[in-house]
Amino acid sequence: MSDDEPVISLEDVEVHFENQGGLFSDPDVVQAVDGVDLDIGENEIVALIGESGCGKTTLGKTTIGLQRPTGGSVKYRGQDIWKARDKEGDVQIPFEEIRRALQIIHQDPGSSLNPNRRVLNILERPLKTWHSDMSADDRAARIHGMLERVGMKPAKDYSGRYPHQLSGGEQQRVALIRALLMNPDLILADEAVSALDVSLRVDMMDLMLELQDQFDTSYLFISHNLSNARYLTKKTDGRIGIMYLGRLVEIGPVDEVLQNPKHPYAKVLKWATPSLETDSTEVQEPPIRDIDVPDPTNPPEGCRFHTRCPEAREVCKQQDPSLDGSGDEEHPAACFRVYGDDHEYWDSPPVEEMEETTDAGSGAMQAD
């Protein structure tokens, strides 16, 4: 990312939700996002990867102002989004302008397109809102031009259809056009290609990249599929961020993250993606301990991944590593293994060894 002011800047962002408690119990707090820092620059693509429930979608919605954070700040070009929303203090950028600049395309475009309106009427709305001086003929010409640009020809025919008369790929193209007609600075693409067939995914991602050049927009691409993230970021020298249990545990240039993953969880994701080229000498067993994913209402103390990490040591159960501690600004990872040879991690006993000792001790006590 360049040294220019980022389009979006997240600092120590937290999003916590309360689950409804029972008659005799207090509500549980889900730490969906917990202490995330992230900057997204001009015309940049950042892909967030992680398993279901890791908080990536919540973080994405918080990034574009659809979810109010519990703690921390989210700024658009230096303006705190929620201070603008609440008209608190000296607001330099109105909230309405921020909302226009931050758009979203969903996994299921059909649910976001009004089923009772034709494509032309759906796509007219942003133009009427933000270009009120544009005539009906000019709006139609602009929309038809965009439809042709994304391969929906003849444009007049497609503009007269209802969403249910379009394929899933065509619906997604309409959703992308609608977002781009707002002239956004950032688009959140939340699993935007995961519902499409493999060939259509590639076509859609290629289209997103082509239109990025035309509209000078950035993308925050959310996916559970590392192959999709690699395809989209590889062509733009973008970055991949790895999320685990509400935390951003690694982020860096796509080639660095894929060829030299630093966090043990990033290695798990790479191992679980057969389409990624791997060295034949690499271990074939999954680089993870056979333990279930922890409950987000009660995350582990210390490093949140230590309950599943084959490299975990006793210090990992007691201390929580941060991205900053790695000392690598371009490719940081929240893991003591990359903190340096002098870190106390290296003198700490492995977790499995400690567990075996504890089990043996318990057995001896029972025998007595």
Strand ranges (E), the chain: 8-18, 29-40, 45-49, 71-76, 79-80, 102-105, 186-190, 218-223, 239-244, 247-253
| pLDDT above 70 (res 241) | yes
Q: Torsions phi, psi of 64, nearest 5?
A: -100, 15
Q: What is the pLDDT of residue 78?
A: 96
For residue range 137-162, list pLDDT tens digits in order.
999 999 999 999 999 999 999 999 99
Q: Which class is domain 8-20+28-116+162-363?
A: alpha beta
37 has pLDDT over 90: yes
CA distance 255 to 253: 6
Instruction: Please state, in angstroms and as integers, the Cα–Cα distance from residue 178 to each residue in 100, 148, 226, following that order.
Output: 11, 14, 27
Q: Which two tokens stand for residue 210?
A: 């082509």
**pLDDT for the residue numbered 360:** 41
Give the tens place of pLDDT for each residue, 162-215: 999 999 899 999 999 999 999 999 999 998 888 778 778 888 899 999 999 889
Q: Calculate the average pLDDT of the chain.
A: 88
Looking at residue 90, its pLDDT comes to 93
Confidence of residue 281 (pLDDT cuts 50, 70, 90): very low
CB 251 within 8 A of CB 331: yes
The pLDDT-based confidence of 234 (bands split at 50, 70, 90) is very high
